Structure 1
Amino acid sequence: MLLNLKLSLRFLVNKSSGSFSSFASWLAIGGLAIGIAALMLTASIVQGFEEVISQKLENLDGQGRVQHVLSYPINIKDNSIDSIIHEYPKNISGFIRGACMLRYGSMAEGVLIEGIENSTNLNNGEIIIGKGLISLLKIDIGDMVYLQSFSSNDSTTRFPIIKSFKVIDTFYSGLKEYDNTIAYVTIQDSRKLFNIKENFVSGFIINNMNDTSVLRKLKYPYYFETWKEKHSLLFEWISFQRWPAYIMFGLIALVGLVNLVAALTMIIVEKTYQIGILLSQGMTKNNLVIVFLMQGGFIGLIGGVVGGFISILVLIIQLEYGLFKIPSDIYFMDKIPFSFDFIIFGLLLLLSFFLSVLASYIPVRSILKFQPSTALRYE
């Protein structure tokens, strides 16, 4: 086996001048490196995109929400709701949500106002507005805005409820659905805006839950929905885009394998005389097959390692400097996201090695038909 290894490395690193087979070997390594790097970067981008979107949506919507099917206020003393509160005492927060008209100067825009229980970032009379809405209405931090609500659970209330708020901060998620339409106030202010009685809320936000079996058993008129279920179409789109991207960049790696087959074919033709000498000195054909299969494996392994190094280098540069920008109004973020996954990178390296060995068998099997006397005539 040691002899096979030495011969394989010697054939790979051919120092003789004018050897095109050696150049072809390094060309095959380069092709595989580019293909593997493209696959690794594609996997990193797809996974990074999904992770960034998931994190943003979970931060905005919570891990899951319990609401009324008709969006009516929920009585927290209802038996069904009371059991949930006792099941998740530390992970549940009530929220009150409704539509308002936000006015600033002569401009007005419809917004969704949300007040979340136990929120420590706000005091009564303060509001946090999305960056898109801030830009649209040309609001500055510290300005006073007015919220006008027509929502009321009291049918006798005919006049709008108007309250003034001080803008203390803004948030940016990259999701226009949130940045242009949502603002946050305290739950006490939202209760007054929408005239919702004590012990009633619009729903519950639940985080850090390991078991959702109790929530799934909720009966009409209540329902439980995770952030991923709420945005299921978006994640279906991400899943749909994943495989075409893998296939497209996988074709680049396939070109590298074709180069590998061509390189080994040229090496075998170039080394026909040496193969004849080895056969005449007693080396078996099976051992020679192993030599060239090992050479194909080396090409695949080196190409995979170089490709992995290239992809990690690009990943580090992007994470550090964010060179590759994308339009945030389309992709929900302003730069291409990357996520490093040891498992995916390791699997691609192993795949590169095994496919290279398998592809190598196509030209190498011709050695089984070699005759020493015929091979020696090439010199």
Structure 2
Amino acid sequence: MNLPYQLFIALRYLKSKKKHRGISFNTVISISGVAVGVMALLVVLSVMSGFHEDLQKKILGANAHVVVVSYKGGIEDYSSVMEKLMNETNIVSMSPFVIGQVMVSAGKRAHGIFLRGIEPSSELKTTDILRHIKEGSIEEIITGDRRQKTEGRLPWIIIGRELASMLGVIAGDTINVISPVGEVGPLGMLPKVRRFKVVAVFEIGMFEYDTNLAFTDIRSAQEFFGYGNVVTGIQLRLDDIYKASLVRDSINKKMGFPYYARDWMQMNRNLFSALKLEKFAMFIILILIVLVASFNIVSTLMMNVMEKQKEIAILKAMGAKNQGIMMVFMFQGLLIGIVGTVIGVTGGYVLGKIINNYEIIKLPADVYYLSKLPVKMKLIDFIVVSFSAITISFLSTLYPSYYAAKLNPVEPLRYE
């Protein structure tokens, strides 16, 4: 295969002098700089994407895609509201819930949490919280709910693993649930206290939820909080989580005051916006590594231009145009950028797989909400990084190529 002379000469210039076989040291340094920059950028972006996806998965593990609530503080005739919501598209299932702040205690240990009342059968179809149970079982919860109604047993409660560890309890133990809002007595407001049986322990993997969230039967929660037949809101599960904003707007438009809907992205906007901004900031900062590597390309090309002045003069004497001379050094810089990018992409992919599969980096869950460093490699990240690296490599060839094209061929050949 006959290569264009510009590409053929560019490949020759990448090699060392005749007395040294192989690629020149300057070329190796330039390729390594691009490769390291691309690899570091890909690993960091993959980690940021992993954080985003892992947090999204855990948030949706304990919460619904859309929640319908009322400005009045509760929904009285929630059955009729659920019937109206049935007509909405993209809704797969729904379930009512009650939520309030309480304090739980066991022995001399106590902790403030959110207690959410649920219907286990509909909750299974709406959220994934009951699928994260590590001790106990879903069947035990449902049968325990029936026995409680028929035999007057203690109401059941599901708590997180971190909360169970803090209280020193396991499945089968009992705990006290204390509400700060109780009945008014002779000495003022008296807190309401009730015993609950821990029938299961869940673990989502997000410290905030595993510590500060507990679940019980919706009837028990209504009775404990004194809500009667009122619920706090209605949870909705969608067939596509990214259509949550559309469903939210449709519900707000059709239901009207006093009802309003909030989707999972809206309720966690600050967290996801911070992650998105951090990912963009890391991209800008780490692309500087590739920019630094581009200076190596510039210096390598300039050294080649200075060393090859005689060859450039001969090419011009043989009829090569300025454009052809420019193409020689542009090809040389582009080859360095492409080879470095390919090596960096391969190294970034392999390193990402190693970090993800072998969990070599552990994180304190109480600080980062996660127990390990998550990695999610996205094709779009690889495409953007590769394009950016090759573009920067190409731009770094412009000045050396222009300088080489403008060389006067007379001076190098004068004394030959």
Please give the TM-score of this superposition, normalised by the length of structure 1: 0.89
What do the CA deviations read for 1:229-260 (whole angstroms, capped 9, x no partner)? 12222223223323332222111111001111
Report the CA distance shift for 1:127/1:203 in structure 2 as closer, same or farther (over 3 A).
same
- How far apart, in 2, do the equivalents of 1:377 and 1:321 lie? 64
The alpha-carbon deviation at position 377 of structure 1 amounts to 5.1
The structural deviation recorded for 1:3 is: 2.2
What is the deviation of 1:55?
1.6
Secondary structure of the corresponding residue to residue 333 of structure 1: coil
SS in structure 2 opposite 1:140? coil
The two structures, once aligned, show a CA RMSD in angstroms of 2.8
SS in 2 for 1:58: helix
Please say if residues 98 and 151 of structure 1, whose CA atoms lie closer than 8 Å, have aligned partners that are also in contact: no
Seen in structure 2, the aligned counterparts of structure 1 residues 104 and 377 have a Cα distance that, compared at 3 Å, is farther
Partners of 2:161 and 2:203 within 8 A in 1: yes
Aligned match of 1:145: 175
Alpha-carbon deviation of 1:101? 3.1
Unaligned residue ranges in structure 1 (runs of 5+): none
In the alignment, which residue of structure 2 is the partner of 1:229?
266
The residue correspondences of 1:319-358 to structure 2 (distance < 5 A) are 319-358=356-395
1:378 deviation in Å? 8.1
Distance 1:152-1:205 versus aligned 2 partners, 3 A rule: farther
Pair 1:179-2:216 in alignment: no
Listed one character per residue, the Cα deviations across residues 17-40 of structure 1 (whole Å, up to 9, x for unaligned) are 469992112111111111111221
Question: Conserved in 1, the CA contact under 8 Å of 2:364 and 2:371?
Answer: yes
Structure 2 runs not aligned, ≥5 long: 125-137, 146-154
Contact 1:67/1:74 (8 A) holds in 2: no
How far residue 158 of structure 1 moved from its aligned partner, in angstroms, is: 7.8
Q: Work out the CA distance in 1 between the residues paired with 2:310 and 2:63.
A: 71
Residue identity over aligned pairs, in percent, reads 26
Tell me: CA distance 1:166–1:326, structure 2 relative to 1, closer, same or farther (3 Å): closer
> How much does 1:108 deviate?
2.9
Q: 1:274 to 1:75 in 2, by over 3 A?
A: same
Indicate the SS of the match to 1:41.
helix
Amino acid at match of 2:308: K
The answer to which of 15-24 and 302-311 deviates more is: 15-24
Normalised TM-score (structure 2):
0.81
Q: What are the residue-to-residue correspondences of 1:204-243 with 2, within 5 Å?
A: 204-208=234-238, 210=243, 211-212=246-247, 213-217=249-253, 218-243=255-280
Matches within 5 A, 1:239-258: 239-258=276-295
User: What number of residue pairs does the alignment pair up?
Assistant: 375
- Aligned residue runs from structure 1 range 188-337, under 5 A: 188-198=219-229, 200-208=230-238, 210=243, 211-212=246-247, 213-217=249-253, 218-337=255-374
Deviation at 1:203, TM superposition (A): 0.7
Give the 3 Å change call, closer, same or farther, for CA 219–363 of structure 1 in structure 2.
Answer: same
Aligned AA for 2:70? H
Q: What is the rounded CA distance, in whole Å, between the counterparts of 2:415 and 2:206 in structure 1?
A: 67
SS at match of 1:139: coil
How far 1:15 sits from its partner (Å)?
4.8
Q: Structure 2 residue aligned with 1:365, among 402, 406, 413?
A: 402
Q: 1: CA distance between counterparts of 2:404 and 2:336?
A: 19
Once the two structures are superposed, residues 53-91 of structure 1 have per-residue CA deviations (whole angstroms, 9 ceiling, x without a partner) of 12211222211211123532442145x554224326632
What displacement does 1:195 show? 4.2
2:201, 2:82 → 1: CA distance? 33
Q: Is the 8 A contact 1:36 1:304 kept in 2?
A: yes
Aligned partner of 2:123 in structure 1 is 119
